[in-house]
Amino acid sequence: MGDDSVPKTSPRLLSTFLDLVRIYSPSGSEADCASYCAAALRDAGCTVRFDDSAQATGSNTGNLIAVLPGTVPATLVVSAHMDVVEPCLGVEPVVQDGRVFSAGETVLGGDDKSGLAVAIECVRHFSESGEPHPTVKCVFTVKEEVGLVGAKQLGAEDVAGDLCLVLDAAG
């Protein structure tokens, strides 16, 4: 395959993923990750809000809900979670031979920083491409790793859509 077979967004997607895995966000401490995601989604044209679940979940932030208005009458919900399992402090990602891994004694945090990066890139693509697209609703939850705690606080209106993609990964 030549270089032209690699999507032009791949370097940005990788950069976003690497940024995200460096952010310390164990269950209950997702605020820094949420701030990064909120800024990226706002920059891509979304309205962003946080629900009031922090007190109920014990997290330092609520679930993030972001909406990119569509140009066609449909809604795509893209869901991922912002917390990762320990040990996740001081992640040093290494890219080698097309793979990303942790250089140290930490987990990489691919579960679920990869889902967050893909969701953000999806919004960026629709925002920048000029292609017809549905309304895209990103729902990023807290405390998934300890029992879907944040997801259980979502209202039906938060996840309402015509199609829902739940982006979760191992690793």
Residues involved in catalysis: 83, 144
Q: Tokens 């739940």 — which residue?
A: 166
Phi and psi dihedrals of 40, rounded to 5? Answer: -65, -40
Query: What is the token pair recorded at 67?
Result: 């909406």
Q: Which residue has the tokens 């040093």?
A: 92
Contact 23, 116 (CB under 8 A): no
* Of 131, 138, 102, 88, nearest in space to 117 by CA: 138
**CA-based Rg of the chain, rounded to a whole angstrom?**
16
Q: CA-CA distance, 116 to 90, in Å (whole number)?
A: 19
User: In angstroms, how far is CA 21 from the centroid of its own chain?
Assistant: 11
